[in-house]
Chain A
Amino acid sequence: MARRKRSPLSIAACAAAWSGYVFLALPSVIIIPMSFGNSDELIFPPRSFSLYLYEKYLLESNWMAATAESLEVALGTAALSLLLGVSAAYGLSRAEFLAKRLITMFLLSPAFVPAIVLALGLYLYLGAGHVSGTTVGLIISHTVVAVPFVIVTSMAGLRHVDQRLEIAAAVMGARRFLIIRRITLPLLAPSVLAATLFAFLISFDEVVISYFIAGVRTQTLPVKMYSAIHWEISPVLAAVSTLLTLLSLGICLAVALLRRGR
């Protein structure tokens, strides 16, 4: 079809959309050049370029300890929420039972409860059980937030796994666990992988709950960043932020590729 002259509406819509894209991209556009500045003050655009801030980040033990703690918590959260979330998604999409809708809503509801409320609840609750301030406590808390996303992602994936394949396997004599292992999980793998990456990232970026329950020894990277922005606005933040942005970008692209493979 030969395109007609573009109408004023479509030009306006296009302009509005692109302004939106620019607005969304703004933080990354600011942060990345900043991170290559070489001074201890925050000036945009930086006067000269170097890897000074990255060096500072890598050499300062505070930052490294926080990063290591975040990594540990995020890996633990990814593993735990994967176990709970994928299994729950399977049950929710393959079983019929009483109050299924209600239970689904319950399992997804942590995504809608304000983080501060959860943070306060976990602070009061874990404090009573002496788990507050430990890595395990952080993993449990982050898993509460990550599980809904794992469930949603896996359920979307399970909708694309033809149930007739599972029935066919059952008729051929396969038991449920064999069917899950040989048929369902291999076909669900892209979604499970995407869910794992999401869970990891959710935990790695989680700040409000961690801010409430992390101890001195278990300060995570976001908590350290939060105080850094709140109290000093240290230029090292630009380097940390750039690395975090790259992590998000990598996970975004990986998930996009997984989606396309489906």
Chain B
Amino acid sequence: MVRLEGVGRRYGPVTALTDINLDIVEGEFLTLLGPSGSGKTTLLNLIAGTVEVTTGRVWIDGRDVTGTPPMARGLGMVFQNYALFPHMTVGENIAFPLRVRRLPEREIRRKVAEVLDLVRLPEVTGRKPKELSGGQQQRIAIARCLVYDPSLVLMDEPLGALDKKLRQQMQLEIKRLHTLLGMTIVYVTHDQEEALVMSDRICLMHDGRIEQLGTASDLYFRPATVFAADFLGESNLLDGECVAVASESLTVRTAGGVTMSGLTSVGLARGDRCKLVIRPENIALLGPNNVAPCIAEGVLEEMIFVGGVTNFRVRLHDGVILTAKRLTTEARLALTPGASVRLGWRAADVVVLR
């Protein structure tokens, strides 16, 4: 559907994107995820044609559109600030792309009514955008984008201005429309939760490059880089050195002298420096009689109660601090800082990275 070949963009001396190669499959929901300044919005604009590439080529639908102005690319886009025309009514806004395409007036009226039904706002045709709530404006922006059936839809942080509840509701709404209509969606967000909820695939961006591309569970459970591990969810990151290498697993000694084993796919050799990643939710607090494949002992430093879960910060005897995230129970809340605790996890939950 979309193919980017060695795409790069510079703004004067500043490089916003370097050598991006990306294939977007027809009908998929792909999210460009990354912190601000990572180049995700620039990449979206390069696909839209509102920003021109400095190197590389952009293909849409098998057509080389490098250098083609946005009006000739035939795609749809939803903007963060909605970009609804303030001087037109909702109906005129939605009719705009159809009028551009010189559809007969009857057809336009039919399509506008249809798409307003689709976004479940059939009553607002005659109103001005200003008179609608933020969530309604967002629905209209989506309707205006869908009304001409573009096979590729770009969304630039469309839910950024909404509050949390409404955002979650709209996430499901967009997901529903995607399933219903089957178009390809490229979605930009800096919100990892949003990315995990909505995407077929996530393209994690960092410093103008693609850090990792894969499904939500790929990125979450098999982060390819320290940045990916750190950006998605929470991670315990430990420095270490390889002491033994098997086929897929290896043994690492941490800086503090504890030996652990874990899984890797980055091809480390004996003696290499490396980082260990353990998700806090994979670390259990062991009772006196529990056993686990990997066990470490330490002293509870701090408990942070965040509602459904509680974070336990534990200082191991070698000084390393690990955070364990467990469901909140009264028994666990009864622990006090200074108490001795045993932590346990599986070797399979440890990812070793370069």
Interface, chain A (partner B; CB < 8 A): 162, 164-165, 167-175, 178, 182-183, 186-187
Contact = CB atoms under 8 A, between A and B. Distances in A.
Interface stretch (B93-101, B161-169, B172-180, B216-224): B93-101
B71 A168 contact: no
Contacts of B81: 162, 164
Interface of B: 48-50, 69-77, 79, 81, 83, 85-87, 96-97, 100-101, 144-145, 148, 154
A178 B79 CA distance: 20
Contacts of B148: 172-173
A168 to B, nearest CB: 4
Given A171-B48, A171-B75, 4 more contacts: A165-B83, A172-B76, A173-B74, A174-B97
Given A170-B70, A172-B76, A173-B74, A183 B50 contact: no
Contacts of B144: 172
A175 B99 CA distance: 12
16 contacts: A167-B70, A167-B79, A168-B79, A171-B48, A171-B73, A171-B75, A171-B76, A171-B77, A172-B71, A172-B77, A172-B144, A172-B148, A173-B71, A173-B74, A173-B101, A182-B96
B79 A186 contact: no
Contact of B71 (A174, A182, A183, A187): A174
Q: Could you say which of A168, A175, A182 has the most chain B C-beta atoms within 10 Å of its C-beta? A: A168
A45 B69 CA distance: 69
Given A172-B100, A173-B101, A186-B87, A164 B79 contact: yes
A180 B277 CA distance: 54
Contact of A171 (B50, B85, B87, B101): B50
Contacts of B49: 171
Nearest to A168: B83
A167 B72 CA distance: 13
B85 A174 contact: no
A interface: dominant SS: helix
A167 B100 contact: no
Contact of A178 (B73, B75, B85, B100): B100
Contacts of A167: 50, 70, 79, 83
Contact of A173 (B79, B97, B154): B97
A239 B69 CA distance: 59
A173 B144 CA distance: 12
B85 A165 contact: yes
A171 B71 contact: yes
B75 A187 contact: no
A169 B75 CA distance: 11
A8 to B, nearest CB: 47
B69 A183 contact: no
Given A168-B77, A170-B50, A175 B71 contact: yes
Q: Could you say which of A165, A171, A174 has the most chain B C-beta atoms within 10 Å of its C-beta? A: A171
What 6 A-B pairs come out closest when comparing CB atoms? A168-B83, A172-B97, A171-B77, A170-B70, A173-B100, A174-B100
